[in-house]
Structure 1
Amino acid sequence: MEKKQRRVSMVLVVVCIFLVALNMRPAVTGIGPLFNVLLESLHISNTKMSFLTSIPVFCMGLFAPFAVPLQRKLGTKTAITLLIIILTIANGLRFLKESYVLLVVTSFAAGFAIALIGPILNAYIKKKFPSRFTTVVGIYSFGIGTGATLSAALTLPFYNHFHESWTMALGFWAILAIIALCIWILTIQNQELPETAVFTEKVARNPWKNVRAWTILIYFGLQTSLFFSMMSWLAPMLQDKGFSLGAASTMLTFMSIVQMIGNILVPILMEKWSSRIGWLFSLGVFGIFGFVLLWVGSGALLWIAVFIIGIVLSGLFPIGLLLPLDEARNDEEANSWSSMVLSGGFMISAIIPILIGYCYDLTGNHTFTYAIFITLMLGIIATIIFLKKK
């Protein structure tokens, strides 16, 4: 009976992790389907629009180091509750009015909350599921992918349903955060789970003085740059190729669905074929082919390109979460390495969407955009080679 209760408790924890993860992308990725709508409504440049993606991503990096002290001070349960409340308010404020400044402020608040949730949940998973953390991280990344997919698929229908009100379409995501908040409080706050962590006497290594940690950080930054840039710019890029807003949004949704499925399948497959380097090399080569096809292709070839890119993104992200946890010798290292990788990685990835917007404003076409994506893939392969040598 006790084993059964423990199993049920663990399942509830996994469900809560999934629901929290659902809310870690819509505040950012909900902008992409309405990119051109917001551009025209707010009368701003592509560069300014890019800030709506880059600001929360930069915040994810800037504030990630504060996750460990917050977790120590408040505990995982209370810290996550507070952060989900902030995320709910950030999304809810978008109901108020059509304002670029308000979008910037709420993007900052959302980025702050997401920045702290990520490392806290990473360490929590490592601690509670030491023997199955690859699978649980897969469920966590699946939740993030599902949230991104929902925002890509439903933001435009919400916009149309609410009589072309983008404030309603973006603010509606506060409801998803409220659901996660209620279930987290009801199931986690009043429940003490048995500790399953394996403690070690080894002295924790400082990741900031470790070359391998820096390599993982650069890898994470490059792959995250790909994700956020694609979520923001895929629809405008396809519209530039002649697609309507609806068709471009459909293809963005398709890529998100592929990625969402891959987020759970890749970690499960990695339980059987565990070579991180092997997976990364395969995804790297596959990714270059996909982005070249997206650049030069048309018609049905674009669907194939988007399918390939969705698969690549779905694998790169969970592996990025696993790499610092693989290196961790104890709970303290799980916290510090994950915090460093997420912090530096997200700060790197905040640069790319702005760079793409600036290049588009400068040239009026997406030639530089495709070149940037391919360069990012080559950079990822370079970090993989370095990790393999070490």
Structure 2
Amino acid sequence: MNRWLGVTALFLASLNLRPAVASIAPVLGSIQHDLGLSSAISSFLVSIPMICMGLLAPFSVKLSGKLGNERVIALSLALIGGSTLLRLFIQSAALLFLTALLSGIGIAMLGPLLSGFIKKHMAGSVPSMIAIYSMALALGAALGSSLTSPLYWRLDSWQMALAFWCLPAILALPLWFGVQKRRNPGSVPQAFSGKPLKLPWKTGKVWMLAIQFGMLSLIFYSLLGWLPLMLTATGASGGQAGFMVTLFAMVQIPSGIILQFLLSIHASRRDWLIVLSIMQTTGLLLFFFSLYLWFAILLCGLGAGMLFALVNLLPVEAASTPEEAAAWAAMTQCFGFLIGAAGPLLMGYLYDRMGNFHVGIMGLVLISTVMGILSLFIIPRRNVQK
């Protein structure tokens, strides 16, 4: 397979992993007003895709054993694009939640298989490919977070603004049809080497990575779903909140590349897990006290972005085969996203009960602190590389 085709296809596929979720928050107030949803109920629009990512991640790799890895990736992209386009016709809460479910299924199938794709076709450059994957994923989140509001103002329809994000899937699909054709010319597609998938249920390191990934997801998706309202609650104007949400998303775009540079200077994954957890915790503490909000958002965005790239790098590096890489990624994402799905729900519930985000933000501070402590045990100190 042509390397540039593989890298471009990987980038465009990864770009589709966040817009369907990230585009909700900027128009959440209008959605709640038009459909009569409470904060707790509307938080399901973020949590439903995450629950799907958790429950269905292992099945995506098994499905690839029957249909082929590249074909399942293409089907996932089609499902994400179709469900996002369906938002153009939303007139009820039921249809909106259905699109969240369908896009969640597509994202759940797509994520783990991209890790296996990297391990299979780009095993000699895993850190750089994970950096590209993370950059595309962050770019998708940034675009969904920052452009949905302007689209809404321009189109005067949150349905059209949400449906706009079917375009990345439309752009990615032809490339994946090309990848599929080049990998399986005239033959029945096979997943990886055809070996049966075995999830590493008894591997302690995978469980620790899953918990770490879950805590990171809980923090990130809580911020992704509620950051605009959290900022206005601190006294920021609507315009300031919009710019800070954009900053939060934009600083994550180069985070994978920055991490790769930092690892080239100091290779210890363990040390960077600790440092980045401290960075994220500091940003959340500043946010809690409403101090230096721009700097707080910068720390939270950079910390979360680099942590995500690093936590996704570890399972791929630890695996010895593409099958194992996909299995580790599937199990990590399975339990990680199930843990993370609780974040937006709890944040919405606490806001409904308390009338503010103080308890919720302090909870994120504590979780980020635990992430740093857990990092001491995920990777032995003697293992400098991993």
Same fold (TM > 0.5): yes
Name the residue aligned to 1:37: 30
Name the residue aligned to 1:182: 174
Cα separation, partners in 2 of 1:141 and 1:336, compared to 1, 3 Å: same
Deviation of 1:157 (Å): 0.4
Deviations 1:276-311 (A, max 9, x none): 11111111111111111111134xx10000001111
Cα separation, partners in 2 of 1:191 and 1:253, compared to 1, 3 Å: same
Structure 1 residue corresponding to 2:51, chosen from 58, 65, 69: 58
Contact 2:120 2:321 (C-alpha < 8 Å) held by counterparts: no
Unaligned runs of 5+ in 2: 186-191, 382-386
Name the residue aligned to 2:238: 245
The alignment status of 1:236 with 2:246, answered yes or no, reads: no
Deviation of 1:144 (Å): 0.5
The alignment status of 1:17 with 2:10, answered yes or no, reads: yes
Contact 2:126 2:317 (C-alpha < 8 Å) held by counterparts: no
Name the residue aligned to 2:298: 307
Counterparts of 1:1-390 in structure 2, within 5 Å, are 9-163=2-156, 165-185=157-177, 187-192=178-183, 207-298=200-291, 301-389=292-380
Contact 1:266 1:314 (C-alpha < 8 Å) held by counterparts: no
How many residue pairs match? The answer is 374
Deviations 1:40-94 (A, max 9, x none): 2222111011100000011001100111111111112211111111111110110
User: How far apart, in 2, do the equivalents of 1:75 and 1:334 lie?
Assistant: 16
User: How far apart, in 1, do the equivalents of 2:129 and 2:52 lie?
Assistant: 25
Cα separation, partners in 2 of 1:261 and 1:124, compared to 1, 3 Å: same
Contact 1:216 1:383 (C-alpha < 8 Å) held by counterparts: no
More displaced, 320-329 or 26-35? 320-329
Unaligned runs of 5+ in 1: 1-5
Contact 1:254 1:307 (C-alpha < 8 Å) held by counterparts: yes
Deviation of 1:97 (Å): 2.4
Contact 2:40 2:345 (C-alpha < 8 Å) held by counterparts: yes
User: How far apart, in 1, do the equivalents of 2:153 and 2:243 lie?
Assistant: 14
User: How far apart, in 2, do the equivalents of 1:318 and 1:66 lie?
Assistant: 23
Deviation of 1:182 (Å): 2.5
Deviation of 1:12 (Å): 1.5
C-alpha RMSD of the superposition: 2.1
User: How far apart, in 2, do the equivalents of 1:376 and 1:259 lie?
Assistant: 20
What amino acid does structure 1 have at the position aligned with 2:350?
Answer: C
Deviation of 1:382 (Å): 2.4
Cα separation, partners in 2 of 1:206 and 1:48, compared to 1, 3 Å: closer
Instruction: Give the SS at the match of 2:235.
Output: coil
Contact 1:57 1:349 (C-alpha < 8 Å) held by counterparts: yes
Instruction: Give the SS at the match of 2:43.
Output: helix
User: How far apart, in 1, do the equivalents of 2:257 and 2:226 lie?
Assistant: 25
Cα separation, partners in 2 of 1:191 and 1:22, compared to 1, 3 Å: same
User: How far apart, in 2, do the equivalents of 1:388 and 1:324 lie?
Assistant: 12
Deviations 1:346-383 (A, max 9, x none): 11100111011101100101111211210220121122
Deviation of 1:272 (Å): 4.2
Deviation of 1:19 (Å): 0.5
Deviation of 1:212 (Å): 1.3
Deviations 1:132-173 (A, max 9, x none): 11110110111100000001111000000002x100110111
Deviation of 1:14 (Å): 0.5
Deviation of 1:271 (Å): 3.9
* TM-score, reference length from structure 2: 0.92
Deviation of 1:248 (Å): 1.3
More displaced, 351-360 or 28-37? 28-37
Following TM superposition, the consecutive aligned residue runs of length 4 or more in structure 1 with deviations greater than 4 angstroms are 203-206
Name the residue aligned to 1:3: none
